Protein backbone atom coordinates (compact mmCIF):
# COMPACT_ATOMS: atom_id res chain seq x y z
CA UNK A 1 0.00 0.00 0.00
CA UNK A 2 1.15 3.52 -0.82
CA UNK A 3 0.04 6.09 1.78
CA UNK A 4 0.17 9.72 0.66
CA UNK A 5 -0.64 12.85 2.62
CA UNK A 6 0.55 16.26 3.83
CA UNK A 7 1.24 15.36 7.47
CA UNK A 8 4.37 13.24 7.90
CA UNK A 9 3.36 12.04 11.38
CA UNK A 10 -0.07 10.97 10.15
CA UNK A 11 1.48 9.12 7.21
CA UNK A 12 3.83 7.27 9.56
CA UNK A 13 0.94 6.38 11.86
CA UNK A 14 -1.13 4.90 9.03
CA UNK A 15 1.87 2.96 7.75
CA UNK A 16 2.43 1.50 11.22
CA UNK A 17 -1.20 0.42 11.42
CA UNK A 18 -1.06 -1.22 7.99
CA UNK A 19 2.20 -2.96 8.81
CA UNK A 20 0.66 -4.19 12.07
CA UNK A 21 -1.97 -5.97 9.98
CA UNK A 22 0.75 -7.87 8.16
CA UNK A 23 0.77 -5.80 4.97
CA UNK A 24 3.46 -3.66 3.36
CA UNK A 25 3.06 0.13 3.49
CA UNK A 26 5.18 2.88 1.98
CA UNK A 27 4.64 6.52 2.90
CA UNK A 28 4.95 9.39 0.40
CA UNK A 29 4.45 13.09 1.05
CA UNK A 30 3.23 14.71 -2.16
CA UNK A 31 0.93 17.53 -3.29
CA UNK A 32 -1.53 15.82 -5.64
CA UNK A 33 -2.41 19.13 -7.33
CA UNK A 34 1.06 19.01 -8.95
CA UNK A 35 1.53 16.42 -11.67
CA UNK A 36 5.26 16.02 -11.01
CA UNK A 37 4.61 15.18 -7.36
CA UNK A 38 1.95 12.63 -8.30
CA UNK A 39 4.63 10.97 -10.42
CA UNK A 40 6.66 10.51 -7.21
CA UNK A 41 3.74 8.57 -5.72
CA UNK A 42 3.59 6.23 -8.68
CA UNK A 43 7.38 5.91 -8.83
CA UNK A 44 7.28 4.69 -5.21
CA UNK A 45 4.52 2.24 -6.17
CA UNK A 46 6.49 0.85 -9.13
CA UNK A 47 9.56 0.21 -6.96
CA UNK A 48 7.59 -1.75 -4.38
CA UNK A 49 4.63 -3.41 -6.10
CA UNK A 50 3.71 -5.18 -9.32
CA UNK A 51 -0.06 -4.61 -9.39
CA UNK A 52 -2.36 -1.71 -8.67
CA UNK A 53 -5.76 -3.07 -7.74
CA UNK A 54 -7.29 -0.19 -5.75
CA UNK A 55 -6.76 3.56 -5.89
CA UNK A 56 -8.61 5.89 -3.51
CA UNK A 57 -8.79 9.64 -4.16
CA UNK A 58 -9.30 11.32 -0.80
CA UNK A 59 -7.22 14.52 -0.82
CA UNK A 60 -9.15 17.64 0.04
CA UNK A 61 -9.06 21.11 1.58
CA UNK A 62 -11.75 23.52 2.78
CA UNK A 63 -11.88 27.20 1.82
CA UNK A 64 -14.56 29.41 3.40
CA UNK A 65 -14.96 32.59 1.36
CA UNK A 66 -18.14 34.28 0.07
CA UNK A 67 -18.22 33.94 -3.70
CA UNK A 68 -18.31 37.71 -4.24
CA UNK A 69 -15.00 38.03 -2.38
CA UNK A 70 -13.29 34.88 -3.67
CA UNK A 71 -10.01 35.44 -5.47
CA UNK A 72 -8.75 33.57 -8.50
CA UNK A 73 -5.94 32.19 -6.34
CA UNK A 74 -8.40 30.74 -3.80
CA UNK A 75 -10.54 29.22 -6.55
CA UNK A 76 -7.51 27.66 -8.27
CA UNK A 77 -6.09 26.33 -5.02
CA UNK A 78 -9.27 24.48 -4.02
CA UNK A 79 -9.91 23.09 -7.49
CA UNK A 80 -6.24 22.22 -7.80
CA UNK A 81 -6.25 19.91 -4.79
CA UNK A 82 -9.71 18.42 -5.31
CA UNK A 83 -10.10 18.27 -9.07
CA UNK A 84 -6.61 18.37 -10.56
CA UNK A 85 -5.47 15.93 -7.87
CA UNK A 86 -8.37 13.65 -8.77
CA UNK A 87 -7.40 13.85 -12.45
CA UNK A 88 -3.66 13.31 -12.02
CA UNK A 89 -4.05 10.32 -9.71
CA UNK A 90 -6.94 8.73 -11.59
CA UNK A 91 -5.24 9.07 -14.98
CA UNK A 92 -2.02 7.43 -13.79
CA UNK A 93 -3.94 4.66 -12.04
CA UNK A 94 -6.06 4.07 -15.14
CA UNK A 95 -2.96 3.67 -17.32
CA UNK A 96 -1.76 0.83 -15.12
CA UNK A 97 -5.17 -0.76 -14.67
CA UNK A 98 -5.86 -0.75 -18.42
CA UNK A 99 -2.72 -2.85 -18.93
CA UNK A 100 -3.88 -5.20 -16.16
CA UNK A 101 -7.47 -5.17 -17.47
CA UNK A 102 -8.63 -4.92 -13.87
CA UNK A 103 -8.80 -2.47 -10.98
CA UNK A 104 -11.06 -0.11 -9.08
CA UNK A 105 -10.89 3.65 -8.54
CA UNK A 106 -12.84 5.11 -5.62
CA UNK A 107 -13.13 8.83 -4.90
CA UNK A 108 -14.25 10.55 -1.72
CA UNK A 109 -16.64 13.33 -2.70
CA UNK A 110 -19.16 15.07 -0.41
CA UNK A 111 -22.89 15.68 -0.15
CA UNK A 112 -21.96 19.08 -1.59
CA UNK A 113 -22.10 17.39 -4.99
CA UNK A 114 -25.87 17.65 -4.41
CA UNK A 115 -26.30 20.46 -1.87
CA UNK A 116 -24.54 23.79 -1.49
CA UNK A 117 -22.46 24.94 1.46
CA UNK A 118 -22.41 28.61 2.38
CA UNK A 119 -19.14 30.33 1.39
CA UNK A 120 -17.84 27.24 -0.43
CA UNK A 121 -18.47 27.69 -4.15
CA UNK A 122 -15.07 26.32 -5.17
CA UNK A 123 -15.35 23.29 -2.90
CA UNK A 124 -18.87 22.51 -4.08
CA UNK A 125 -17.91 22.98 -7.74
CA UNK A 126 -15.03 20.54 -7.39
CA UNK A 127 -17.14 17.88 -5.70
CA UNK A 128 -19.86 18.18 -8.33
CA UNK A 129 -17.26 17.71 -11.05
CA UNK A 130 -15.89 14.60 -9.36
CA UNK A 131 -19.38 13.06 -9.33
CA UNK A 132 -19.81 13.71 -13.06
CA UNK A 133 -16.29 12.52 -13.91
CA UNK A 134 -16.85 9.33 -11.92
CA UNK A 135 -19.77 8.42 -14.16
CA UNK A 136 -17.88 9.30 -17.34
CA UNK A 137 -14.76 7.37 -16.31
CA UNK A 138 -16.88 4.32 -15.49
CA UNK A 139 -18.25 4.37 -19.04
CA UNK A 140 -14.80 4.79 -20.63
CA UNK A 141 -12.96 2.25 -18.49
CA UNK A 142 -15.57 -0.45 -18.06
CA UNK A 143 -14.41 -2.45 -21.10
CA UNK A 144 -11.04 -2.92 -19.39
CA UNK A 145 -12.60 -4.41 -16.26
CA UNK A 146 -12.05 -1.21 -14.28
CA UNK A 147 -14.76 -0.05 -11.88
CA UNK A 148 -15.06 3.61 -10.91
CA UNK A 149 -17.24 4.74 -7.99
CA UNK A 150 -17.49 7.48 -5.39
CA UNK A 151 -18.67 7.96 -1.83
CA UNK A 152 -20.22 11.22 -0.64
CA UNK A 153 -20.05 11.66 3.13
CA UNK A 154 -22.24 14.02 5.09
CA UNK A 155 -21.30 15.24 8.59
CA UNK A 156 -18.43 12.99 9.72
CA UNK A 157 -16.69 13.73 13.01
CA UNK A 158 -12.92 14.16 12.75
CA UNK A 159 -10.53 15.68 15.27
CA UNK A 160 -10.40 19.16 13.73
CA UNK A 161 -14.11 19.54 14.58
CA UNK A 162 -12.92 20.11 18.15
CA UNK A 163 -11.66 23.54 17.05
CA UNK A 164 -15.15 24.86 16.32
CA UNK A 165 -17.68 22.63 18.11
CA UNK A 166 -18.32 21.00 21.47
CA UNK A 167 -19.58 17.45 22.11
CA UNK A 168 -23.01 18.95 22.91
CA UNK A 169 -22.97 20.81 19.58
CA UNK A 170 -22.32 17.55 17.77
CA UNK A 171 -25.09 15.73 19.63
CA UNK A 172 -27.54 18.48 18.68
CA UNK A 173 -26.38 18.38 15.06
CA UNK A 174 -26.78 14.62 15.00
CA UNK A 175 -30.34 14.89 16.27
CA UNK A 176 -31.22 16.70 13.03
CA UNK A 177 -30.39 13.60 10.99
CA UNK A 178 -32.73 10.62 10.48
CA UNK A 179 -30.21 8.30 12.18
CA UNK A 180 -29.87 10.80 15.06
CA UNK A 181 -26.06 10.85 15.15
CA UNK A 182 -23.02 12.30 13.44
CA UNK A 183 -21.01 9.87 11.31
CA UNK A 184 -17.54 8.50 12.02
CA UNK A 185 -14.54 7.78 9.75
CA UNK A 186 -15.32 4.07 10.15
CA UNK A 187 -18.72 4.68 8.55
CA UNK A 188 -16.93 5.94 5.44
CA UNK A 189 -14.14 3.36 5.49
CA UNK A 190 -16.63 0.48 5.56
CA UNK A 191 -18.33 1.64 2.36
CA UNK A 192 -15.00 2.26 0.62
CA UNK A 193 -13.89 -1.26 1.58
CA UNK A 194 -17.14 -2.66 0.19
CA UNK A 195 -16.71 -0.85 -3.14
CA UNK A 196 -13.15 -2.16 -3.37
CA UNK A 197 -14.24 -5.75 -2.72
CA UNK A 198 -15.50 -8.54 -4.95
CA UNK A 199 -18.94 -8.04 -3.37
CA UNK A 200 -19.20 -4.86 -5.49
CA UNK A 201 -18.02 -6.54 -8.71
CA UNK A 202 -21.08 -5.36 -10.70
CA UNK A 203 -21.16 -1.81 -9.34
CA UNK A 204 -19.60 1.02 -11.34
CA UNK A 205 -20.38 4.65 -12.08
CA UNK A 206 -22.20 5.03 -8.76
CA UNK A 207 -22.05 7.43 -5.83
CA UNK A 208 -23.05 6.20 -2.38
CA UNK A 209 -24.17 8.82 0.14
CA UNK A 210 -22.93 8.23 3.69
CA UNK A 211 -24.88 10.93 5.45
CA UNK A 212 -27.20 9.43 8.07
CA UNK A 213 -30.15 10.23 5.79
CA UNK A 214 -29.41 13.96 5.48
CA UNK A 215 -29.93 14.16 1.71
CA UNK A 216 -33.07 12.01 1.93
CA UNK A 217 -35.03 14.41 4.11
CA UNK A 218 -36.64 17.59 2.86
CA UNK A 219 -35.87 19.53 6.05
CA UNK A 220 -34.58 18.85 9.59
CA UNK A 221 -37.21 17.05 11.70
CA UNK A 222 -37.66 20.09 13.94
CA UNK A 223 -38.63 22.31 11.01
CA UNK A 224 -42.24 23.18 10.26
CA UNK A 225 -43.74 23.38 6.76
CA UNK A 226 -43.99 26.91 5.40
Residues belonging to the active site: 123
15: left (phi over 0), alpha (psi -120 to 50) or beta: alpha
Crossing angle of helices 121-141 and 85-100, in 10° steps, is: 10
Residue 28 backbone phi and psi in degrees, to 5: -135, 140
CA dihedral 171→175→176→182, nearest 10 degrees, is 50
In whole angstroms, give the CA distance from residue 109 to residue 152. 5
In whole angstroms, give the CA distance from residue 151 to residue 60. 14
Residue 130 gets which letter from DSSP? Answer: H
Amino acid sequence: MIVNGRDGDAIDDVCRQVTGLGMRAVGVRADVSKEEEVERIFDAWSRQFERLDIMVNCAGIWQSTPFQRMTREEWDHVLGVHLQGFFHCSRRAAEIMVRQRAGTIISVSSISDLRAHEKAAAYDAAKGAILAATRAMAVDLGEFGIRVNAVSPGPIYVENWDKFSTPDDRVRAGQQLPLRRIGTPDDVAGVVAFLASADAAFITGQTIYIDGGLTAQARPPSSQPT
